[in-house]
Every structure is written in C-alpha cells, then in structure tokens.
Copies of this chain bind each other. A is one copy, B any other.
Amino acid sequence: MRTSTTVTAAALVIGDEILSGRTRDKNIGTIAGHLNEIGIALREVRVVADDEQAIVEAVNELRARYTYVFTTGGIGPTHDDITADAVAKAFGVPIDIDPRAVALMRPAYEKRGLELNEARLRMARIPAGAELVANSVSIAPGFRIANVIVMAGVPAIMEVMLRDATKQLRTGPKMNAVTIRVERPEADIADLFREHQALYPDVVMGSYPSFNDGRYSADLVLRSPDPTRLAHAAESLTARLREKGLLGA
C-alpha cells in the first residue's frame, strides 16, 4: 500500500551486549536503509538493556508516538531473552507457547536433527493477538502485535524478518536523495549552502563532513520525495558551487 501521508517509525535495539561495547550493532543501519527505501521515515532509535522495565517503557513511549516500532534482540532461548514477555507486558496481554509457531518449528527442527526442547519452545512464546513474522533462516518466528514488530538480534535473521514484516505495512512517499561531494572543509561552503537551503525550504539539505589522511571533505545531501524538485535543487546547487570555484573543474 502507498499513501501520500508520511509513515513514521522507531527502532528499539534491545541488548546488554551493545551497551557494554562487546558487540557493535549492525541492525540500525540495515533497518534505516530498508525503511528509507520503501517509504517509511525512521525518526528515532533507542538502545536499551535486557531489562524488563526499560523495554516496557520504551515500547509504550515509542508505539504511542510513531506509526511503527521495530525491535531487535532478546527473542532467543536463553534466560536473558526477555523481549517477548516484556512486549506482552507493555500491551497488557498474556503470552504463551503459540501452536502456530510450534507447527512451523517442529518439522524444521526434526529435519535438522534438533530436539524441540524446553529452551527452544521458549522461542515459540508469542503474545496473544500477535501475528507471526517469518524467519526463513532459523525458523523460530518473530511477531507483530498492533504496530510493534519484534525481530531477532542476529543480523542475518533480523534481515529476513524485516523484509517479511514490512511487506504488510503501510508506506508513505519515498525520499529521494542526491549527494554532491565537495573536496574541502565544509566551512568553505557553509554560507552558500545555507542560502541554497533558504531557496528550497521543501528540500532537506545536510552536510556530512569527513576527515581522512589530513584532508577534509563534505557530502552535501539533498532529500525530497519530489524527484523533479530535487533534481532542480541539486542542479542549481552544483552550478553555484562551480561558479564560486568550489567544486573542482
């Protein structure tokens, strides 16, 4: 589905290992890139610990504020995986082993010679009223309850869940972007760039500096849902930069 109104989202990354510095998060970038591609505007990300109160609070704040909330992490078989229970608590609904999840997991696990033990059945715990999100990698599903999509933390599994879940979601206008790279410190182009932003208030313009081998550069990024307007803004910025000798030959 596509509508003309903006569809917003937040991501909630759950896991002590990110906050302790042990693991570098890879999911935020994947979620941001995918949502941007399909026309959902990611407005906020939070990372919280494997702590029930922290998860419940964040889920409830974010689901009230954005169209969708995507969580990652904490739905595995070990005692520190408490996300599904915390999400059920946030919604005030019961949670139990879901026969739909077991029906998916049993044959797949048998085929792989894995016992559907108590720990694995823990991964079939789904809050009442939730829909399953498919996991083509390791089968144990994620779920969606109302506007909250609960996904695994392992990047390869998160990715297939994200793709499955977002097929069902409402999307809005897609943002298009043009990047113009300037091989000099951004302070050299700041005045011109500010004036240009004022001429095109409907095109979002940002400058992203880099510093490599002692040399400064900046990516000027222009973003708009309207490709014609965007092309116009980008062409006229390029022309102005060239005119001032700021863009190389």
Residues of A within 8 A of B (CB): 13, 15-25, 28-29, 31-37, 41-50, 54, 76-81, 114, 117-120, 122-123, 137-138, 154, 156-157, 175, 177, 185-191, 193-194, 197, 204-211, 216, 218, 221, 223
Given the known inter-chain contacts A79-B193, A191-B119, please indicate yes or no for A21 contacting B25, CB distance below 8 A.
no
Q: Cβ of A45 and Cβ of B19 under 8 Å apart?
A: yes
Q: Cβ of B187 and Cβ of A114 under 8 Å apart?
A: yes
Q: Which residue of B lies closest to A117 (CB)?
A: B187
How many copies of this protein are present in the complex? 2
Lowest 6 A-B CB distances belong to which pairs?
Answer: A21-B33, A119-B190, A21-B32, A45-B47, A78-B207, A24-B29
Max count, chain B CB within 10 A of own CB: residue among A45, A49, A118: A45
Given the known inter-chain contacts A25-B28, A207-B76, please indicate yes or no for A20 contacting B223, CB distance below 8 A.
yes
Max count, chain B CB within 10 A of own CB: residue among A13, A78, A122, A207: A78
Taking chain A's interface residues, is the majority helix, strand, or loop, or is none over half, making it mixed? mixed
Give the complex CA separation of A114 and B186 in angstroms: 12
Give the complex CA separation of A34 and B21 in angstroms: 8
Q: Which residue of B lies closest to A123 (CB)?
A: B187
Q: Which residue of B lies closest to A24 (CB)?
A: B29
Max count, chain B CB within 10 A of own CB: residue among A15, A28, A156, A187: A187
Q: Which residue of B lies closest to A216 (CB)?
A: B138
Q: Which residues of B contact A23 (CB under 8 A)?
A: 208
6 A–B pairs (Cβ distance < 8 Å), ordered by A? A19-B44, A44-B46, A76-B186, A78-B206, A79-B197, A157-B211
Q: Cβ of B44 and Cβ of A44 under 8 Å apart?
A: no
Q: Which residues of B contact A216 (CB under 8 A)?
A: 138
Q: Which residue of B lies closest to A17 (CB)?
A: B208
- From the candidates B46, B119, B137, B154, name the one contacting A46 in the complex (CB within 8 A): B46
Give the complex CA separation of A35 and B204 in angstroms: 34
Q: Which residues of B contact A137 (CB under 8 A)?
A: 211
Q: Cβ of B20 and Cβ of A42 under 8 Å apart?
A: yes
